[in-house]
Amino acid sequence: MTTSTTRVLALLEILQGGGIRTVPDLAALLDVDERTVRRYVGHLLDLGVPVDSVRGRYGGYRLAPGYRMPPLMLTDEEALAVVLGLLAAQRAGLVTASAAAAESAAAKLRRVLPKALARRLEALLDTAGFTARPRPAAAPEAEVLLGLAEATLHQRPVEIAYTDRTGRGSERTVLPYGLVAHSGRWYLTAADPAAADGGTRTFRLDRITAMTVRSGSFAVPAAFDPVADVLEGLARTPWTHEVSLRIRGSAEHVRSRLPPGIATLSAIPATAAVDGTGPPDGGEAPPDGSADPAADPHTGWVRVRMRAERLDWIPPVLAALDCPFVIERPAELRDLVQALARRLAEYGAR
């Protein structure tokens, strides 16, 4: 490859970085004179690369907005970041409904990379292991994800066609407050003006079959936290079993042992009388799950409420907490805890 060809490609790589680059700046970066820079720009134009010439005091050259360049020019670190990002998104289940998109994008990237770099990336992909198992994707349509992102950013109402967990379909207009990726799924948290309480609702994006942006605008409440709202919404989802427990320990410790998004915690003041059945009710804890300031975080009790499809995973979690607890409901959970205790005692006696 000749020196001039190398510098033309270097010019393309510089322009790929975005923004307007002045002729003197480009000349200094390429170590050529300004006349040569203009000649190199002409070569790019001859190759069909749309380079815009911007006039004025701060003028120069830039690539036309939205142009997709055939030669993808990445440093080793940039290529590694892109490939690992695609792999991580695929394993986390955060790809869109076109499941092959991440694989085909990675394949295209590898095809246009220099052979030496491509070989090194292939070696990494062939030898890397992962402790976390891949999550099955519940992927939304790309158009739905991107459309909701734009509507959320610009605070525009959207009409969505939604199918709930029972298979019932509906159409509604909502105010999108935020998008959240959680446990291999994308969620939308949005205000539902048609709801009786006018509060927020949580929608799985893979259950949104269509969306249309409507006219108008809205304001997101101050200090609104989409992540916290989605986790609380998931914890309120109706399941087969409603579980209520009282646990002696700090809210932070209890929450750290529970899968995120399945439980709500209420602080019970440590100064309340505690008898054999546990403390009385306390006030609601702040949304972040921290204990009530009036409660001693080391000796107080917290109430845990959660909904679950199955109960068999809860006794091991309670055992791992290593804290006194009282089961309020359901009675079946008490039987499962006692059965686990008997098994552990039997194992420990061997």
Q: What's the mean pLDDT in 76-86?
A: 79
Q: Which residues of 318-349 are buried (b: 16+ CB within 10 A; e: fewer)?
A: beebebebbbbebeebeebbeebeeeeeeeee
Of 101, 190, 182, 199, residue with least CA distance to 149: 190
Average pLDDT of the chain to the nearest whole number: 80
| pLDDT bracket for residue 298 (50, 70, 90) | very low
Sheet holding 158-163, edge to edge: 200-204, 185-191, 169-182, 158-163, 208-213
Phi, psi of 256 (to 5 degrees): -65, -20
Q: What's the mean pLDDT in 93-106?
A: 66
- In this prediction, residue 295 carries a pLDDT of 40
Please answer whether residues 123 and 110 qualify as being in contact, where contact means their C-beta atoms are separated by less than 8 angstroms: no
- In this prediction, residue 197 carries a pLDDT of 75
Does pLDDT of 140 surpass 90? no
Sign of CA dihedral 7, 13, 17, 20: positive
Contacts of 201 (CB under 8 A, 6+ apart): 174, 189, 190, 191, 192, 195, 233
Does pLDDT of 297 surpass 60? no
Residue 80, classed as helix, strand or coil, is helix
Q: What's the mean pLDDT in 215-244?
A: 86
Q: What are residue 189's DSSP bridge partners?
A: 178, 202
| pLDDT bracket for residue 296 (50, 70, 90) | very low
Contacts of 303 (CB under 8 A, 6+ apart): 244, 245, 246, 247, 265, 266, 268, 281, 282
What angle separates helix 34-46 from helix 23-30, to the nearest 10 degrees?
90
- In this prediction, residue 235 carries a pLDDT of 72
Q: Give the C-alpha separation, 269 to 297, whole Å.
A: 9
pTM of the model: 0.55
Q: Where are the alpha helices (DSSP H) in 75-205?
A: 76-91, 101-112, 115-127, 142-154
| pLDDT bracket for residue 26 (50, 70, 90) | very high
Residue 101, classed as helix, strand or coil, is helix
- In this prediction, residue 85 carries a pLDDT of 82
Q: Which amino acid is at 44?
A: L
Check residues 137 and 14 and name the one with the higher pLDDT. Answer: 14
Q: How far is CA 182 from the centre of its chain?
A: 5
